[in-house]
Amino acid sequence: MARVVGKNLQISSKKAYEVANFIRGKKADSVLRDLQLVIEKKKAVPYRRYHMNVSPKRGIGPGKYPVNVSFEIIKLIDSLKANAKEKGLDEKNLVLLHAAAHQGPKIRHNGRQGGTRKNAHFELVAKEIE
């Protein structure tokens, strides 16, 4: 088993949750292809929980193209494959067993237009299949 955790990523935790449900249980190589299509806006991620005012996409219902989240998760999957290779696992047969998004710390900034910056933690665990 290989594991990778991305801490304090500047992504929306709600969008990360939907992408986690989209990639869980798939092979790592197919996830990389799917997320690349999401970045190119050719394949939409189905939104199951946070779908208020989300327009329907053909064949999946409500969905969006979370580009920033996909870009960060591609980097995490590359790191996961490197961790698996270091442990002696075959990186072509990796299946994502666990994909979870958690809220990160709320970072506030001051000034006239003070606000909060979005942060999320993302965790991936993969296992080699025969």
Residues 6+ apart with CB under 8 A from 98: 24, 123, 124, 125
What tens digit of pLDDT does each residue of 19-67 get?
999 999 999 999 999 999 999 999 999 999 999 999 999 899 999 999 9
Domain that holds residue 60: 2-128
pLDDT, greater one: 116 or 77: 77
pLDDT > 90? residue 118: no
Residue 32: per-residue pLDDT: 97
Residue 10: per-residue pLDDT: 94
Residue 124: per-residue pLDDT: 97
Q: Could you tell me the CATH number of the domain that includes residue 103?
A: 3.90.470.10
Cα angle value 25/104/38 (rounded, 5°): 45
pLDDT > 90? residue 114: no
CA distances in angstroms from 45 to 10, 60, 117, listed in the order given:
19, 8, 23
Kindly calculate the radius of gyration of the chain based on its CA atoms and give it in whole angstroms: 16
- The sheet with strand 2-9 has its strands ordered as 2-9, 120-128, 94-103
Closest among 9, 12, 21 to 75, alpha carbons compared: 9
Domains of the chain: total:
1
